[in-house]
Amino acid sequence: MSGFRHIALFRWIEGTTTGQQDEVAAKLRGLPGAIPEIREYSVGADAGLNPGAYDFAVVADFADRDAYLAYRDNPLHRATVNDYITPITAERASIQYEL
């Protein structure tokens, strides 16, 4: 498979509720239907098996870098990040790479 992958990992601030986490997941899961550049999309909370893990992950695949950039800059994605993710994020890590 060729393409481009984006992975984002989040640690939530102390006091983040399950409801807030579920809302983030629901908002993110709605993006593939609204952003055609997304080829594959997976989001989920940590299973809690290993200490020190991040709380939540997003794995997104695109045809190429330009498709990723279109997703990154899409107003619906930006609003989701700004309105639902940023307010509860203590730490974020991300990586993008060619498949």
What one-letter code names the amino acid at 35? I
Q: What is the pLDDT of residue 41?
A: 98
User: Which residues sit opposite 93 in a β-bridge?
Assistant: 9
Q: Taking 90 as the threshold, does the pLDDT of residue 1 lie above it?
A: no
CA–CA distance from 35 to each of 14, 67, 71 (Å)?
31, 10, 7
Q: How confident is the model at residue 22 (pLDDT cuts 50, 70, 90)?
A: very high
Convert the pLDDT of each residue in 33-86 to its tens digit. Answer: 999 999 999 999 999 999 999 999 999 999 999 999 999 999 999 999 999 999
- Cα–Cα distance measured from residue 92 to residue 60, given in angstroms and rounded to the nearest whole number: 16
Which pLDDT belongs to residue 80? 98
pLDDT at 88: 98
Topology of domain 4-94, CATH:
Alpha-Beta Plaits (3.30.70)
